[in-house]
Amino acid sequence: MVYFLRSSPRAWFLVGFLACVFLLLMGAYFQFVDGLEPCPLCISQRIAIFLVGVCFLVAVLHNPGVLGIKIYAIVGATLALCGAALSTRHVWLQQLPPEEVPECVGGSLEYMLAYFPLTETLKLMLSGTGDCAEVNWTLLGFSMPAWTLLAFLMLATLSLLQAWNTARTGSKPDSKKVKT
């Protein structure tokens, strides 16, 4: 079991990348098949998932040495924790009483970009609107942002574990050779 967990960081980064692809495909499914229109925070979380996935993919393609693995692990975990912060904000908005929910701006990202300055659009995307407080889907009593929060925390954990997982084919953790 321990050997399995200490397998190639490249393989684990690939697993993380595939998880990100799966999450993005699920978001596309819910939007285009089930008809759930994403709110500004949902779009922000998708962007965060995409960025984590890109980090993991670059780590897989680069196949770095020990130092590089640690850098990718820290960058991937930081991006995942930023996504977790967005998900936490989203879950918090969904728990607010109706009278404390921010105003709805109505419409999609295209609407916000057309009628609001870019800075205001970014602020709304990162802080959320009344649209973000609606719970349109649950599984086992948890909303989609709660499941996304769990996914971000798992991705951050997977990424951080690679900082300690330097057992790679052809190099030892205590090797003085540093390949970046």
Q: Poorest-confidence range of 32-46, 70-84, 101-115?
A: 101-115
Q: What is the pLDDT of residue 99?
A: 74
Average pLDDT for residues 164-176, to the nearest whole number?
52
Q: What is the pLDDT of residue 49?
A: 97
Q: Where are the domains of the chain?
A: 8-164
Q: What is the pLDDT of residue 173?
A: 44
DSSP-based three-state secondary structure for 168:
strand
Q: Poorest-confidence range of 4-8, 19-23, 159-163?
A: 4-8
Q: Poorest-confidence range of 23-37, 43-57, 145-159?
A: 23-37
Q: Could you report how far apart the first and last alpha carbons of the chain are, in Å?
A: 28
pTM of the model: 0.77
Q: Tell me which residue of 72, 86, 81 sits closest to 155, measured CA to CA.
A: 81
DSSP-based three-state secondary structure for 64:
coil
Average pLDDT for residues 85-99, to the nearest whole number?
85
Taking the C-alpha atoms of residue 56 and residue 97, their distance in angstroms, rounded to an integer, is 38
Which tokens sit at 95? 């728990």
Cβ–Cβ < 8 Å for 178, 171: no
b/e sequence 57-68, b meaning 16+ C-beta within 10 Å: bebbebebbbeb
Q: How confident is the model at residue 169 (pLDDT cuts 50, 70, 90)?
A: very low
The yes-or-no verdict on residue 72 having pLDDT over 90 is yes
Given the candidates 3.30.70.3040, 3.20.20.140, 1.20.1550.10, 3.90.550.10, the CATH classification of the domain at 8-164 is: 1.20.1550.10
Average pLDDT for residues 77-90, to the nearest whole number?
93
Taking the C-alpha atoms of residue 128 and residue 31, their distance in angstroms, rounded to an integer, is 18
